Amino acid sequence: MKPIDRSPAIVSSVAATALGLVVLAALGPFSGIALGLCVVGFALLAVGLLRGIRSAVSGGAGGLLLGTVAGAVNGAPVLLTLLGLVATVLAWDVGQRAIDIGEQLGRDADTSALELFGLATSVAVGVFTGVAGYLIYLAGAGGQPLSALFFVLLAVLVLFAALRREPIPSE
């Protein structure tokens, strides 16, 4: 009687690892610190997905995030920075989803439709926000004053606070 294989779902795991690799390739080359953070983050992510460890996936995504930021500080172009950030969030989202699906349904179940659809919607959201950010950058490319940026930032923060105070649907 073999036990049920509840390791992370394959499609999502591969996708999350590939996204991690994208971040590593895009932002790693800009500085030693960025490369180091990205490599550590990627390694944690990969191990977390192989073994189904959630904290490793989250920690790995955190490493990739810091690596991206470090790359940007060291001169990565805006487009690559946005790409790295979107890919980092996606790797975290999809990686967690792989573990969820693995735990609930296991490797033997057919989950490809579920995984691909989830991946596609998350990618769409990332592309949308990334493009929006880039358009804002292009619009203000003429050297926007610090005060303008500050207000936009405050606005973003306040809006974010409003959004995360979400009412819990319960029955």
* Interface of this chain with other proteins, residues 5 to 24, rule: CB under 8 A: 9
Q: Is 74 exposed, middle or buried (0-12, 13-18, 19+ CB in 10 A)?
A: middle
Q: Which of 18, 50, 51, 148 binds other proteins (CB under 8 A)?
A: 148
CB atoms inside a 10 Å sphere around CB 157: 10
Query: Quick one: 38 or 76, whose CB is closer to other proteins?
Result: 76
Residues written for the chain: 171
- Does residue 57 interact with other proteins by CB under 8 A? no
- Does residue 125 interact with other proteins by CB under 8 A? yes
Residue numbers 20-49 binding other proteins by CB under 8 A: none
- Does residue 136 interact with other proteins by CB under 8 A? yes
Number of residues that bind other proteins (CB under 8 A): 83
Q: How far is CA 129 from CA 64, 67, 86, 122, 123, in A?
A: 19, 20, 8, 11, 10
Q: Which of 23, 82, 91, 98 binds other proteins (CB under 8 A)?
A: 82
Name the token pair of 63.
Answer: 């490493």
- Does residue 51 interact with other proteins by CB under 8 A? no
For residue 30, the 8-state DSSP code is G
